[in-house]
Amino acid sequence: MKGISLKVTQTAGEMLTDLLKSYHEKIDKAYLKSDGALTVDLKAKFKPGENEGIEVEVGINFVTDRIKNTFSRLVNENQEGLFEIVDKEQEVNNLRKF
């Protein structure tokens, strides 16, 4: 297997730069929506390719929207659920039809 040359790493750097440039607007919007910091993960993968070449694959990952939500509910085992009550009322109404 052939090693990774400077040309290969330079190509990977150019590809990563192209990704950052192509997502500039979305990165900017995500940063402005953030709580003060934005993490942008960049990935480069190298594997043997055809004709003794090295295949370079790059990727980008960042979160554009942060969703944070909480809710709570009191659950009482002795309280009937809404759907159970509706089902019982339908049963009673169906019996009244006969």
Residue 39 clears pLDDT 70, i.e. is over it: yes
- Quick one: pLDDT band at residue 70, thresholds 50, 70, 90? confident
- Quick one: pLDDT band at residue 29, thresholds 50, 70, 90? very high
Q: Identify the pLDDT of residue 73.
A: 81
- Quick one: pLDDT band at residue 81, thresholds 50, 70, 90? low
List the one residue out of 46, 8, 9, 42 whose CA is nearest residue 23: 42
Q: What does the mean pLDDT of the chain come to?
A: 86
CB-based contact 21:66 (threshold 8 Å): no
Residue 98 clears pLDDT 60, i.e. is over it: no
What's the whole-number mean pLDDT along residues 2-28?
A: 96
Plot region of 63 (φ>0 → left; ψ -120 to 50 → alpha; else → beta): beta
